[in-house]
Structure 1
Amino acid sequence: MMTKNADKKREQMMMFSMDDMVPQNHMLRLIDKAINWNFIYDLVEEKYCPDNGRPSMDPVMLIKIPFIQYLYGIKSMRQTMKEIEVNVAYRWFLGLDMLDPIPHFSTFGKNYTRR
């Protein structure tokens, strides 16, 4: 069967749940279920000012992104960010929806040196 109009599907608008897009047995889903990430907020609370400065990034996300990089053997943070941009499971794990912006890769170099 020859399909000439395959490109038209790219413009389709669909409603979907990201939770439904990530298989129940996906490694990141199992890890997320096994680890309660809330302890990170207590560890970094004194590093964040509640009433001054720019809006902060979620510290749990700052931990989970290098976690993804290590688990999947991605060689650089720049490449990790490119992968997160298009991978639904990575976005689900980080708590990002499909339209949320991805942190800039340089954030992690600064984060490593400052903290």
Structure 2
Amino acid sequence: MLKDQNNQLSIYSILYNKIPENHTLKLINKAVDFSFVTKLLEASYNKYYGRPAKDPELMIRILVLQYLYNLSDERVIEEASLNLAYMWFLKINPDETLPNPSFQSLEYID
């Protein structure tokens, strides 16, 4: 899928256009450029060894959804696989897979 700051170019663009411009996730996306996360963490990942890392920007966007809608790790992945606005915010298409919900959240574990 080709990704652009303002538009996701895919066969799903018609569906994404149904999301209102004043939707909370569209407003957040306009206000915050999450690409800094990938640049900030780029030196932390080895491009040649080990399993490929999940996109840091995607993981931060998932955490934003989790916080905004008070969702558990499992629930945010389930909702993101069904909710068109969530998919748009995560910059994924309905046919793409999401991370396993076992990823570590930012909550502190005692």
Alignment TM-score > 0.5, same fold? yes
Number of residue-to-residue matches in the alignment:
97
Q: 2:67 aligns with which of 70, 84, 97?
A: 70
Question: How many angstroms apart in 1 are the aligned matches of 2:36 and 2:12?
Answer: 31
TM-score (norm 1): 0.75
In terms of fraction of residues, the more helix-rich structure is 1
Runs of 4+ in 1 over 3 A off after TM superposition: none
What SS does the corresponding residue of 2:70 show, helix, strand or coil?
coil
The question of 1:79 aligning with 2:58 is answered: no
Per-residue deviation at 1:108?
Answer: 2.5
> For residue 50 of structure 1, what is the aligned residue in structure 2?
47
Per-residue deviation at 1:55?
Answer: 2.2
Structure 2 unmatched runs, 5+: 1-10
Q: 1:106 aligns with which of 80, 102, 109?
A: 102
Q: 1:90 aligns with which of 64, 86, 89?
A: 86
| Contact kept? 2:62, 2:90, Cα under 8 Å | yes
Percent identical: 35
Tell me which structure has the larger Cα radius of gyration.
1
Q: 2:25 aligns with which of 12, 15, 28?
A: 28
CA RMSD of superposed structures (Å): 2.0
